[in-house]
Chain A
C-alpha cells in the first residue's frame, strides 16, 4: 500500500508526468476557444445546442460550455498543482543543500569534457592556481591537491539559474492559488445609470441590473460607495466609428458617505475609477428617450428609460417604456389601462419609406418609431420581465393591444382614442457601468511579475563548471614546466557556453600554437 502510494507520488511528480499534464491542460483549454461559452455568451450556447441536437446536449452535460469550471479541467490543473508541489519540495531541499556544497571533484580525464583545452607554461603550479583564482573571481571554487604535485581547481557558477527556476515555479503555484481564492471572494455587477445626475449606490445586489457573485459572496457586505453620473460625452468620427467616450461622474466612499462629500472623476474607457477596493468601469452607453403620458384625467407621468443599442455603428436602439395609469386603485381595472411605448429610437433619423433607421450615432436628429400598447403588461404576474421588451405572451393572449403606431420627433405627440396623449420629449444618454471587486488580483499581479523575473533569470543564466588542473613536468630539455588542462561543462544546456569557456581559456593559457587552432571549433567561436 505504502509502496503503491509512493510509486503514485513518484509518478505524479516526475518530469514526464508534468509534461503530459501540461499537454492535457493545453488540449483541455482549447474547446473553450472553439465552442461558445456560457459565461461569455449564454445566448450563443443556446443557439449552438439548438442547432446541434443530441450531441449539442451531450457536450453540455459534459461541461463543454463551461470548460473552465468543468470537472475535467479542474482535475487536470489540480493534478498539475500537486505535481508542481511534489516537484518543488525536493528541488528546494536540494537547492538549499547545493548552496553550501563545494564544487565537485575535478574529473580525471578533462579531455573528455565537451569543452577542454591544454597548454604549457613556464609558470609554476602555484602561479597557475593564483592566476586561475584571480580570473575566476565570482565563481564558487575549491582547490585540491592531487598526486604528483598537481593541483586542481573546480569552479562553478550560475546558481541563480536554479534560483530563478524555483522562483518561477513557486510564482506559478502562488498564482494558481491566488486565482482560486479570487474565484471565492470576488464579485461583479452591471448597472445602467442615466447621465442626468442619477445615482448608483453599491448597497446591495438589488441595486444592480445583473450581478455575478463569487462562490463565497452572498451579496451582503458589499463595499459601500455611491456614484452619480452627471454627464456623458461621446465623440464619433465622420464614419460613425467611436472616437472617445467619457462619463463625468462624482463618487463618495468611506467618510465621504457621512459628510456627504462628492468627488469628481472623469470616467473613460480603459480608465476605471478605483475606490475602496472596487473598480467602476465604463463599459458602454446608449440612449434613454423621455416620454410623457397625459392620462384622460389630466394627470401626467414622465419616464426616461434606457433603450438598448442594436447597432453599434448608428446607435439605432430598441426598448419599451412602461406606464401605470395614475389614480386607479382597483388592480383589475388598472391592468386594462397600462401603457407601453415600444419600438425603435434613432439618434440621427433617416426614413426609408416609413421605416426608421439611423445614419449616425450622435443625437443630431432624434426620432422614434413606436407602437403604443394598452392593456395588461403582465408586470404583476410575478414573472420578471426585460426592461427592454414587452411581454409578447400578453400580446398573443390579446390582453395587450396596439392602439397606435407613429413616428415621432421631439415635441410631437399621439392622441389615443380615449383621450390619452403620448408625447416624445427628447432623449437622455445613459452610461453602462460595471462594478468589479477582486481582493486577490494584486496578488496575481505580484506572482505574475515574479514569474517573469524568475523565468528570465532561469533562461538567461547558465549553470556551468570549469576545472583547471596544473601538473608539473620536466620536458625533454630538462626544464621544469607546467601542463595546464582546462575542462568545462554547462550543467543545463550547452548553448553558448563555448564562447565563455574560450575566453577563460584564452586568459589562462599562453597563446596557442598553430596546431591548436583547429580545435577552436570545439571551444570558441560560432557554434556551428
Chain B
C-alpha cells in the first residue's frame, strides 16, 4: 500500500507542534514550580510506630512477621509537611504562578491532542499502526507517559511537578524527531501481524507509564537526601505514593506486553524466548521492577532504596530503547526499519 505523502507531512507538523506546546507547558510549569504555593493539604503525621501499634493476634503468628512489621510500623510513617512559610505579601504572586501552573496543564492537554493527531495521521498515511519503527515507537511511548501524568494529576494536586515530567519527554521526543526520524513506510513481512498492535502497544504503554514513577522517584530521593533543595516539592510520602501507584499500574501491562511478545515470537521466529538482546534487557527491567515491589515489602528497604530501584528500572528501560536498539542489533528488526 502506497504511503500518503500529504498526510505524513501533516503528521510531522503535528509532531513538531506537540513538542513545541510541551516546551511551552514546561516553561509555564516552571514558573509554577518556582513561585507557586503548594502542598497545603498534607496528611498529618500519625505516630503509630511502637506504642500505638494495634493489638493484632493474627499478625503475631505470621512466620515472616519480622519482614511484615512494616505493615503496621510503616502504616503510620511520619509524613512531612511541605510548606515553607510564605513571606506575607507573596501570596498574590504565588496565585499568579499557580495560574501559570493551570495553564501548563491545559497546554499539556493540547500537546497530547497534537501528539495523538501526529500518530493518527501517520497511521492513516501508511495504512498500518503507527508504531513500527523507533521514531514511531518513541512517540507512542512519550504519549503514554504524558497521558499517565495527566491521569496522575487528576488524583494528586502536584501539577507544579509537570516540568520534571515534561523535560525527559521533550528530550526523548526531540531525539526521536531528529536522530531516529524515519520516513513513513509500510512494514516488512516479519512485522505484519496483529501481534504488532497488541505487543507493541502494551510494551509502549508500560514503558511510557514508568517514566512518571522514574522521575518522581528521583524527586523523592532529592526530597529525602537533600531536603534543603526540596522546599517546593511535595511530601516524600506523596511522591512515594505517586511512584508506587503508577508502577503498580504499569507493571502488569508491561508484564503482559512481554508475554505477548513471547507469543508473537513463537509464531514469527520459531521460539517464544530467544534471549535476543532486546528480550534480555526487557527481562532485566522486569526483574528490577519486581525487585522494586519486593523492596516495598521488605523491612529496611522502603523509601530511599525502593526509589533508587525504581530509577534503575526506568534507566534499564531507556537503555533498552536506545542502546540495545541502536548499538546492539538483534532480531527486533523494527529498530533498523
Contacts and interface: CB of A to CB of B under 8 A. Distances in A.
B41 A528 contact: yes
A16 B301 contact: yes
Interface string B27-52: 00000000000010111101010001
B185 A527 contact: no
Contact of B284 (A29, A108, A114, A239): A29
Contacts of A101: 58
B245 interface: yes
Contacts of B75: 114, 489-490, 494
Contacts, number: 200
B222 to A, nearest CB: 18
Contact of A104 (B57, B283, B290): B57
B287 A112 contact: no
Interface stretch (B6-14, B63-71, B140-148, B211-219): B63-71
Task: State which size class the interface on A falls in.
Answer: 35 or more
B245 A455 contact: no
Contacts of B249: 459
A504 to B, nearest CB: 18
Contact of A237 (B72, B186, B266, B278): B186
A270 B241 CA distance: 42
Contacts of A67: 275
Nearest to B58: A104
A329 to B, nearest CB: 45
B255 A244 contact: no
A406 to B, nearest CB: 35
A241 B188 contact: yes
A18 interface: yes
A528 B238 contact: yes
Contact of A448 (B251, B262, B284, B293): B262
B275 A19 contact: no
B287 A22 contact: yes
Given A271-B267, A489-B54, A32 B248 contact: no
A272 B52 CA distance: 63
Interface string B100-118: 0000000000000000000
Interface in A1-54: 14-16, 18-19, 22-23, 25-26, 29-30, 32-34, 37, 39-40
B189 A270 contact: yes
Contacts of A19: 291, 294-295, 298, 301
B243 to A, nearest CB: 10
Nearest to B42: A528
Contacts of B318: none
A244 B192 contact: yes
Interface in B177-203: 185-186, 188-190, 192-193, 195
B189 A244 contact: yes
Interface stretch (B18-26, B91-99, B152-160, B163-171): B152-160
A355 interface: no
A441 interface: yes
Nearest to B40: A528
B54 A15 contact: no
A19 B272 CA distance: 27
Given A94-B63, A452-B252, A455-B252, A22 B291 contact: yes
B326 interface: no
Given A15-B297, A112-B54, A441-B266, A26 B192 contact: no
Contacts of A522: 43-44
A159 to B, nearest CB: 12
A170 to B, nearest CB: 15
A303 B39 CA distance: 81
Contacts of B137: none
A15 B298 contact: yes
Given A29-B280, A104-B56, A242-B188, A452 B259 contact: yes
Contact of A496 (B39, B245, B328): B245
B255 to A, nearest CB: 6
Contacts of B55: 104-105, 107-108
Task: State which size class the interface on B falls in.
Answer: 35 or more
Contacts of B294: 15, 18-19, 22
A356 interface: no
B267 A493 contact: no
Nearest to A492: B71
A436 interface: yes
A271 B268 CA distance: 7
A528 B157 contact: yes
Given A26-B291, A283-B270, A459-B251, A114 B48 contact: yes
B156 A527 contact: yes
A402 interface: no
Contacts of B195: 270
Contact of B275 (A32, A270, A449): A32
Contacts of A527: 43, 155-156, 238, 241
A113 interface: yes
B57 A105 contact: yes
Nearest to B190: A269
A451 B255 contact: yes
A444 B272 contact: yes
A301 interface: no
A449 B244 CA distance: 23
B288 interface: yes
Interface string A262-277: 0000001111100000
B307 to A, nearest CB: 15
A385 interface: no
- Chain B CB within 10 Å, residue with most, of A460, A489, A527: A527
Contacts of B245: 495-496
Interface in A209-248: 237, 239, 241-245
Interface string B216-227: 000000000000
B71 A528 contact: no
B208 interface: no
A30 B284 contact: yes
A39 B299 CA distance: 41
B316 to A, nearest CB: 8
Given A37-B275, A241-B185, A526-B155, A114 B42 contact: no
A112 B58 contact: no
A528 B186 contact: no
Nearest to A518: B44
Interface in B125-143: none
Interface string A333-365: 000000000000000000000000000000000
Contact of B251 (A25, A33, A434, A455): A455
A156 to B, nearest CB: 9
Interface string A478-498: 000000000001111111100
Contact of B41 (A15, A281, A521): A521
B176 interface: no
B281 interface: yes
Nearest to A244: B189
B62 A528 contact: no
A416 interface: no
Nearest to B193: A270
Interface string A168-180: 0000000000000
A29 B297 CA distance: 24
A15 B64 contact: yes
7 contacts: A15-B64, A40-B275, A104-B59, A242-B188, A243-B186, A460-B248, A528-B42
Given A25-B287, A459-B252, 18 more contacts: A22-B294, A26-B284, A26-B288, A29-B284, A30-B281, A32-B280, A33-B277, A108-B55, A114-B75, A239-B185, A245-B189, A269-B192, A270-B264, A270-B267, A451-B255, A496-B245, A525-B41, A528-B156
Closest 10 CB pairs of A and B: A107-B54, A33-B277, A33-B280, A112-B52, A26-B287, A22-B291, A281-B270, A15-B67, A269-B189, A270-B193
